[in-house]
Amino acid sequence: MSEAVEHRAEGSRTFARRLGIRCPAPGSWGTDHRGYSRLRRGRVLAALAVLVACLLTFHSAVPNTVGRIGSLLETFLPWLGLAVPLLLVTALLLLCSVTALVALLLPAAAWSILFAPRPAPASEERAGLVAVQHNVNDVNTDPAGTARTLLRVRPDLVALEEVTPAALLAYENELARHLPHHAVVGTVGLWSAHPLEDVRPVDIKPRGFGPGWNRALRATAVTPQGPVAVHVAHLPSVRLGLRHGFSSAWRDESARLLGAALAAEKEARVILLGDLNSTVDDRGLDPVLAQVGVAGEGFAFSWPASFPVARIDQIMARSAAVTRVRSLPATGSDHLPITATITL
């Protein structure tokens, strides 16, 4: 071993010892202090790598019977990829076995297949409806400024949730400058560049909720490409606690009702915009996903606005392609707006 290489190796061993990690002595690269070979060292790391790969690939097999742990895992599934660099650094510090390093290829490949962005085809059509989805927050102190932020992408459709009576006039005044057609039901609203017809509420209210709980609507947008049914929905929030785990029963019930409404929709082309309080990986959204397709490449995390870790605001469609999904700058809400292009 050259002097330079030996110097770097000694530096790695010194750093590892400060972390309380026992390393092989100089000149004993092939075995550790217990006489284990490089192939036997790092078995724990290899097992953890395989576990991470299994969770990424077979997350739907994790049961929801106790604390709905399966849905909790799926909500933050992309972040499981952070385990790969952490395990890799640990393996390198431990001068670990080839087995552990090879095993790390499994979760890396699984994450890449599920989440790695892929370049859009060069021939991708650029025309389409630009849609914006935003939970504006019922305590938003700057509704007018929020509306102006949404208009910067020149949208054709804007869906809002948590619209309060006090803030409604500000949204109407700002958005109407470019989106003259709108409909509001309860706390959800839809603004459109195209005429809206057949506007009506959609009942997604879980059992036990009062009659004033109105958080979904549908309308027919009359576009140059023909009529399109547009649904706007705000599913109930979930709760995370030590006593009950990941509590999502109300949201899941509301998702089943929304899925039934989408299944009954007579228009061939459907757009769904909403705060679904769920990621597309969460099985709680399966009744909805059975009726509409998810957005294209991109994470577009939307919540919480201060440090987004999940996209729970969704833009979906049936008989249409949703592409170029991304987050927009923060507003006065605890959610980030998201936008996407919908090709009919």
The mean pLDDT of the chain is: 86
**Residue 203: closest CA among 261, 253, 274:** 261
Q: What is the CA radius of gyration of the chain?
A: 25
- pTM (global) more than 0.85: no
Which residues in 42-56 are b (16+ Cβ under 10 Å) and which e?
beebbebbeebbebb
* pLDDT value of position 237: 92
Query: Class assignment of domain 129-343?
Result: alpha beta
Share of the chain above pLDDT 70, in %: 81
Residues 300 and 311 sit within 8 Å (Cβ to Cβ):
yes
Q: Between residues 318 and 212, which one has the greater pLDDT?
A: 318
Which of the four pLDDT bands, split at 50, 70 and 90, describes residue 39? low
Which of the four pLDDT bands, split at 50, 70 and 90, describes residue 38? low
* pLDDT value of position 9: 53
As a whole number, mean pLDDT of residues 82-103 equals 81
SS (H, E, C) 165-209: HHHHHHHHHHHCCCCCEEEEECCEEEEECCCEEEEEECCCCCCCC
Q: Where in the chain is the domain with CATH 3.60.10.10?
A: 129-343
Residue type, 265: E
Q: What is the pLDDT of residues 104-119, one digit of tens each?
A: 899 989 888 888 765 5
Which of the four pLDDT bands, split at 50, 70 and 90, describes residue 123? very low
As a whole number, mean pLDDT of residues 179-200 equals 98
Residues 59 and 74 sit within 8 Å (Cβ to Cβ):
yes
Residue type, 305: A
Q: What is the pLDDT of residues 259-306, one digit of tens each?
A: 999 999 999 999 999 999 999 999 999 999 999 998 766 789 999 999
* pLDDT value of position 68: 74
| Segment holding 145, helix H or strand E | helix 143-151
Please check the confidence at residue 29 and state whether its pLDDT lies above 60: no
